[in-house]
Amino acid sequence: MPGSDFAFWGIIPVIRLQKFLADAGLVSRRTGEQLIVEGRVTVNGHVVRELGTKVDPVHDQVALDGKPAKPRRKVYIALNKTRGLVCSHNDELKRPTIYDLLPAEWAHLHSVGRLDFNSEGLLFLTNDGDFSLHLTHPRYGIQKRYIVTVDGKVDAAMLSLFTAGLYLKGEKLKAEKARVIGEGGGETIVEMVLAEGKNREVRRLFESQSRTVTRLVRVQIGKIKLAELKPGKWRSLTESEIKSLLT
């Protein structure tokens, strides 16, 4: 895994301060850089604003906003999210969360992107900020594949509109690929591939054409497929899977 092979195997070298903050699972590396410049990070009790500063994760004492920051073993989890769960740690409506499916010691993990309350399928959780950034930032173009069940008929013209892209309230929504894979009973099943994953993007595309999504399942992220992972179950990503997502 680029930039973190030593940490993965337990050998921790001297590293840049912003990488230390990301490895601690606190922020992404880019956000860490901003916090350093703002003077919110100290090393051995001294404020550090220089982005080139390197630290020894074992012996140096790093703090963010006065709170000690410690490097954590990086964890990468694939979860098959079920319908009726939110992806946040705490929900103001007291609805169940994805963390109800995980061991208590993983409560510090954050989801890489989100699936909304009624959506299902593949979701990653981690404490690696750089990993999250790579999978969610549009510049990396990590593709996600969905199987979508829609009320009513979906024709080729509608799907062509989706792949060309359309603007809703000033925001461009776009599918990389879209094709009908099943029809019947007043419903259409569509396979869609997206590269950005904006908030409720699939649902909003269909809503723009007066269609309602009745089921949405994410079945693949990058090269990683949902495969045999059963609803509500999780597994650790392998080292080769992690590398495939970062290359």
Write out the catalytic residue numbers: 116
The single residue listed with the structure tokens 């230390």 is: 20
Q: At residue 233, what is the residue type?
A: K
Asked if 245 and 2 count as a contact pair (C-beta separation under 8 A), the reply is no
Residue closest to 29 by CA, chosen among 51, 6, 14, 45: 51
- Cα gap 199→173, rounded to integer Å: 10
Under a CB-based contact definition with an 8 Å cutoff, are residues 204 and 197 in contact?
no
Burial status of residue 202 (CB atoms within 10 A of its CB: 0-12, 13-18, 19 or more): buried
Question: Hey, is 7 helix, strand or coil?
Answer: helix
Q: How far apart are CA 85 and CA 124, in angstroms?
A: 15
Q: How many CB atoms lie within 10 A of CB 115?
A: 24
On the 0-12 / 13-18 / 19+ scale of CB atoms within 10 A, 219 is: middle
244/108 Cα distance (integer angstroms): 24
Token reading at 139: 């510049």
